[in-house]
Chains A and B, each alone.
Chain A
Amino acid sequence: MIAVLGLVIGVVIGLVVAPDVPEWAQPYLPIAVVAALDAVFGALRAFLDGIFDDKVFVVSFVSNVLIAALIVYLGDQLGVGSQLSTGVVVVLGIRIFTNMAAIRRHIFRA
């Protein structure tokens, strides 16, 4: 409950402040968002499995975002930034889908 509240407040702050994303951060933002979503769906599934843990969620969230950004940064330096971004999105996308399937089974029993 309190987590959803935090999410809503975060969205509101983001919309109200609407900061200009600096040029150097623009390639990392979408990847960071996808990585964060992966952490969130993982947490949701863990919550439904009854094994949710705040600390694990926070650590996985932060590390996911940082590692995703790092990979993109590294890719940019090596000249394969867009390919690595695609790779990150594919891997995280698969994880999100599988977690989502588990969540769906929990909720709809199907």
Chain B
Amino acid sequence: MSLLNNLMAHPLDEGYAVAARTRPKQNGKSLRSRHRVMLVAATLVLGFLLAVAASQNYRGAPEAEKQRKELITRINQADSRLNGLRTQQTQLADEVRGLQASGLSNTSSGATLQQQLDALELQTGAVAVTGPGIKAVIDDAKNADAKEGRLLDVDLQQLVNGLWTAGAEAISVNGHRLTSLTAIRGAGSAITVDYSSLTPPYTVLAVGDTATVPARFAQSSGGQWVQYLVSNFDVRMTITTEDSLLVPADATIALRYAKVRTR
């Protein structure tokens, strides 16, 4: 502790005392003025250091904010580009379908193929469908934080599975059609459906019998799961029946490797 004691006892530079003792009684004028210049220079440097350190500190914070903003803009740009490409893909798929139909309609065997194709497309989700059904809007709790009240991928999976169990024939989440290839999973704090990150509220459209789907959904394990969330974590959910819903097509549905087994 002698070091600290020493520090406390002699905080002043020894040099001052030494200089005071050895200082000649009458100072040479020229020497004093030269020291004055150095003194001013030193205080100048000190002021400069202080100002630079302070301004550096203040400028650091907006820089981080700026970078964050820039990243957000970039994400938004990429998102809108993705949406544009999806729209284009849907249009092209429609065009292909139209050409296919006109090509097939010429012959009778083509016509039967077309019928088969229509039925398959309807079931796989390759075409947009309309029909009566229910619309469920589910959102995080109002005071949701990182720990509680935020919907997870598993919650959305349960909701969707409940709807399938209840007899839904076609389901979309925030405009993404669910097919046999659609994954609902969590990535960071966001839920991704069909590899697109979604932001709450999540709108789930399900085409099905409006008379039976709501009741059967409420009885399904998925429905009970969601109900548990609603009553225990203040998750907000509204379910309405609609006379006509439009569930969009999944334009990306394509099997590249899977083939029918040759018998």
Contact = CB atoms under 8 A, between A and B. Distances in A.
Contacts of A7: 43-44, 46-47
B52 A19 contact: yes
Give the interface SS of chain A, mostly helix, strand, loop or mixed: helix
B55 A18 contact: yes
A83 interface: no
B16 A42 contact: yes
Mostly helix, strand, loop or mixed at chain B's interface?
Answer: helix
A29 B56 contact: yes
B61 interface: no
Interface in A46-81: 46, 49-62, 65
Interface string B46-66: 111111110110000000000
B8 A53 contact: no
Contacts of B7: 91, 94-95, 98
B20 to A, nearest CB: 4
Given A14-B48, A14-B51, A51-B20, A62 B42 contact: yes
What interface size band does chain A fall in?
Answer: 35 or more
Contacts of A54: 32, 35-36, 38-39
B24 interface: no
B239 to A, nearest CB: 56
Contacts of A58: 35, 38-39, 41-42
Given A5-B40, A19-B52, A91-B7, A53 B47 contact: no
Nearest to B40: A6
A94 to B, nearest CB: 5
Contacts of A10: 43-51
A23 to B, nearest CB: 12
A50 B16 CA distance: 10
B254 interface: no
A86 B32 CA distance: 37
Contacts of A2: 36, 39-40
A46 B45 contact: no
Interface in B148-196: none
B192 to A, nearest CB: 37
B189 to A, nearest CB: 31
B42 A29 contact: no
Interface of A: 2-15, 18-19, 21, 26, 29-30, 32-33, 36-37, 39-40, 42, 45-46, 49-62, 65, 91, 94-95, 98-99, 102
Given A3-B43, A9-B44, A30-B53, 17 more contacts: A6-B43, A9-B47, A10-B45, A11-B48, A14-B47, A14-B49, A15-B51, A21-B56, A45-B12, A53-B15, A54-B39, A56-B19, A57-B42, A58-B42, A60-B15, A94-B11, A102-B11
